[in-house]
Every structure is written in structure tokens, then in C-alpha cells.
A and B are shown apart, each in its own frame.
Chain A
Amino acid sequence: MPTLTQMTLAQARDGLVGGEFSAVELTDAHIAATEAVRDLNCYILETPDAARDMALAADERRSRGEGGALNGIPLAIKDLFCTKGVQATAGSHILEGFTPPYESTITRQLWEAGAVMLGKTNLDEFAMGSSNMTSYFGPVVNPWQRTNDDAKLVPGGSSGGSASIVAARAAMAATGTDTGGSIRQPGSFCGIVGMKPTYGRCSRWGVIAFASSLDQAGPLTRTVQDSAIVLGAMAGHDPKDSTSVNVPVPDYEAALGGDLKGLKIGVPKEYRLDGTPAEIEALWEEGINWLKAAGAEIVEISLPHTKYALPAYYIVAPAEASSNLARYDGVRYGLRVEGGTPQEMYENTRGEGFGVEVKRRVLIGTYVLSAGYYDAYYLQAQRVRTRIAQDFHEAWEQVDAVLTPTTPSAAFAQGEKMDDPIAMYLNDVLTVPASMSGLPAISVPAGLSGDGLPLGLHVIGRPFDESTVFKVGQVIEEAANFTALPQLMAGGA
């Protein structure tokens, strides 16, 4: 049997059900693992005392024959989720010390399913970033290192702490949020599974907002099965979020398995970007062959507006961010920097409280929404967004899912790509089109780069068809047989 921190969430669940160990034992093992990998800076706040209390309660429930799908499973929570009585910062100085008096719908559902909270994970400030370098609480270290090189690598972002802690075997799973790739790109960089469900599948209530028409929560796990289990507990309609969709949540775990006979998988030619490393092209070819071998029919498709998704995203997301972040005014919560007038107090508070990237995006967003520029920038971007979504809409007449690489590179070192915002934005070039179209998409670890770093493949599905995305993802997972382990993990490699 694998150790308590090496096993998958599904194995741990079955072990708890079978009475092989208790939730307290499982949680204590993960608290010890958390201490062992503390140098990765995955957490903004560890909550070991709460974790032990929750584990004890889970064991008591089990002794009474009660408990939900995640009873006794220790999870890490991205510090973008409001957790009642536990600090929530969004990785920002401006929210430091904020203690929400309410619980986000997703975390409430996770606790109702019996899960245990290990802590609040580090992230790019307000989820704006692809490296976790913009956090006020310092960068997160990727547990993976290049062969013969101990340079500290980024875990990706924005859900960098969540991805890193799961990869380091110190949490069974973590929640993330994905606006343009913030679950899938760190999943790919850290060699784990990252799932962004359909927009509207998970409630955004109590999740600190970045770009409301794009933000969607989802799980980071070590296997596709674990992803299906955790998403099952996170998903569902919530009357408190008017964009949450009232459709039944299927049993994702039960839908796994079987071959892909009868399924058509699209391969979009526009995702073959200039400058993509040959090893990523080769991995994509390998993925195509794996799906063929599982019985799928491969269809070359065209998504002609792909190249416009990223620039359109960098209008839409900052525009929405500039209005969402207007609430941080030094009056109601978080940081206040005094000034002689309310205007001065707002400007001082926001000038000091926001980091460089957040300010840059709020300023861009303010500009593209300002009088005289709204039509040229914002409306044009939303029109382009319609065309991007139409591309996929037409593709669904031909295929059931789409296969692409997740990222145009493996994890890079801390400090790289920091001088040029656009170079950093290009990390998300392959994940943003699905975000702009609200589609479910998963990244599954599929191979290693020449210097020993994980690379992911990316499966995009029809709206609300996470089941097919999981099914295709699991075929990739099984064929890839990705057993490599990171160097910096709890228990040692």
C-alpha cells in the first residue's frame, strides 16, 4: 500500500471507508508533509488546528455511519475562496487581515461532503498572473526541477500554491480558479490534473472576483478520477450566483472508463503556433495516437479566430477586473492608507495596496471602458469573443472534444519573463480560447520535456459535457502512464 500522502484521493477514500486508517491519521500525515515542504511557500495560511478538528468530526460521523463523498479527505483551498472566520487575502496586501464572516458556496459544499481544510494556498495577486510571482506573500516554488539544475522554477499561476502543494504530495487535492488558464497551466507545470468546468457549473458566490464572465472554479488533483470525485462535490446550481446554471450534475466518477469508440476528437490546426518547441508538437502527436488506439476518430478542424483569443482576453478581463476591484476602497475591509479627503484616501489605499500587475490591469481596464474608447476596444473585443465562441460551436457539429497541448512551454525559472508583460501573457495562449467560450477543459500530465519537466495535454469539451472531457483525459492518463515524481516532495523522491 502507498503511504498516506502518496496515495490518490480515491485510494484514501476507500481506505477510510474500509477502516484501514482514520481521517485524523490521514490529516496528521498531511500536516507533517506540509511542514516538510514549507519552503515551497504554497500556503498563505496553514490551518492545522482546524484540520484536526474537522478530521475528528469526520471520524465521528463515520462511526455513526454518516459522511459525504469526501468525508475525512484533507484539501488545500486557494486563498481566493472566502472561508468563514479564516483570513482570505487573494494574495493581495489590500485584503491582508480580511476575515470573511461568510463561507463561499463551493467550500461550504466541500465541508458538507466531509472534507478537511489544510490551509489557504498562495496565488498570483487577485489571480492575475501565470507564474505566482505577483503574490504579495512571495513566490511559490514548483516541486519539479530541471535535470542537473536546481534553479527554482515557477509552478505556473494563478493557482500556483494549490498546484504545487498537490504535486508535492502534501494535499490530496486543492481548489483552484481559472479565468484564462489559472488551473490548467499550473496543473501542466506541476505534473498534475487541472480541470476547469463549464462556466456556470460551479458557483462563484464567495469567490473573490477577478473577471466575472470568465472566472470558474475547479479542482487540482493527481489523477483524473480524483478530479471527477472533487468536481462532483464542488459543482451544482446556487441561487446566490445568477450565472450558476440549473442543470443536473452527473456522476462524473461513474462515467469514467471504457474506450473511445464512436467519439470524434478534433485537432485544430490553428493551435500549431510558430515557435512551439518540437517536444510539445511531438507530445501532441503522441496524444493523437493514444486516442486513435482507444478507438477515437481524429478529425482535423479549424478554429480560425484562435489567435485573437488572447488579445481579446486582455481587453475583457482587465475591463471586468477594473470594475470588480473598485470595491477595495479602504472603507469597508482590508487596508486603509489615510488621506485628507476621501479621494486621497482611496488613491493612497489603492496605490499602496495593489501590486504592479494588478495596477497595470486596472488601468488598462479603466482606459478601455472610458468614454470614447469603449466601442473601439471593449465592444470590439466582445464581438471577437462571439466569433471565437462560434468557431467552437461549429466544431461541435463535427467533433465531441478537442485535443491540444496545455502550454507552449514547460515551467520556467523564477524571474524569467518578468520584464515583458506580453511574454508572460503568452503562457495562456492555448488555454484562453476555451475560457473565452466558457467551455470545460482539462490538463492531464502526459510526458516530460527534454530537461525532465512535466508537460500536459489539454482536452476541451462541449458545454456541460465534463463527463466526456474526463473520459478522454483518463485515456490520455492511462496511455501516458506518467509515474515520474518531483524532486521536492514530502517523503522524498
Chain B
Amino acid sequence: MSLDKDTVRRIATLARIRVDEEALEPLAGELNNILGWVEQLNEVDTQDVPPMTSVVETEPFQRVDRVDDGGQVEDVLANAPEEAEHFFVVPKVIE
């Protein structure tokens, strides 16, 4: 599998990262090098091998399902680049 410039543009849009047009081609080269290198994983026989979901074999810890935190609007908004009346402010969404 090989990434072309258009695929890199599409991934960058999915990842919400602005990439300048002239950077797409070199980036495709770098990503292809990495993807070419990981191709070797296909040598491993993984027939009937389950994908790892948890690295430590343990019973998940159970807790009582109750609210134990909250009501901290000021703290939640303290680092916001822009806020108004207890809301985060973003660029206009609806025309």
C-alpha cells in the first residue's frame, strides 16, 4: 500500500491538521517509509490470535455508580481561550 498526495490531504483533513500544499509530497514520502517498514508485520502468523485488548490480566475494578464530582464550571473554563457566560466560545457554526 502506498500513500499519494491526495491521501495525505484526506488524512490531514480527518486529523484536523492544516498541512501546506507544498508539504504534502514530502510528508507522503516520510509516511510511506514508515508504512513500508511496518509491512514486515504481515510475516507473522496471526491466524486465530486474538488482538490484544488489555495488557494486564485483571478483573476490572468496580465502583458504586454515583456522582462524586462536578459543579466546577469556573475550573473547567479557567483555561479557555475564549469564554462567555459560562460557555466556550467557538466561531459561528450556523449560517
Contacts and interface: CB of A to CB of B under 8 A. Distances in A.
Q: Do A and B bind each other?
A: yes
B49 A386 contact: yes
Contacts of B12: 363
A419 to B, nearest CB: 10
A366 B15 contact: yes
A331 B88 contact: yes
A290 interface: no
Interface in B28-62: 30-31, 33-35, 37-38, 40-44, 46, 49-58, 60-61
B33 A367 contact: no
B11 A380 contact: no
A344 B72 CA distance: 30
Judged by DSSP, the binding face of B is loop
Contact of B78 (A101, A339, A360, A420): A101
A83 to B, nearest CB: 14
Contacts of B53: 382
A363 B17 contact: yes
B14 interface: yes
B16 A343 contact: yes
A206 interface: no
Interface in A306-353: 307-308, 311-312, 314-315, 322, 326, 329-336, 338-348, 350-352
Interface residues of A, number: 78
Contacts of B11: 363, 366-367, 370
B7 to A, nearest CB: 8
Nearest to B40: A311
B71 interface: no
Interface stretch (A5-13, A46-54, A58-66, A237-245): A237-245
Interface of B: 1, 3, 7-8, 11-19, 27, 30-31, 33-35, 37-38, 40-44, 46, 49-58, 60-61, 63, 72, 75-76, 78-82, 88, 90-93
Interface of A: 97-99, 101-102, 198-200, 213-214, 237, 239, 242-247, 305, 307-308, 311-312, 314-315, 322, 326, 329-336, 338-348, 350-352, 354, 359-360, 362-364, 366-367, 370, 373, 376-377, 379-387, 389, 420-422, 436-438, 463
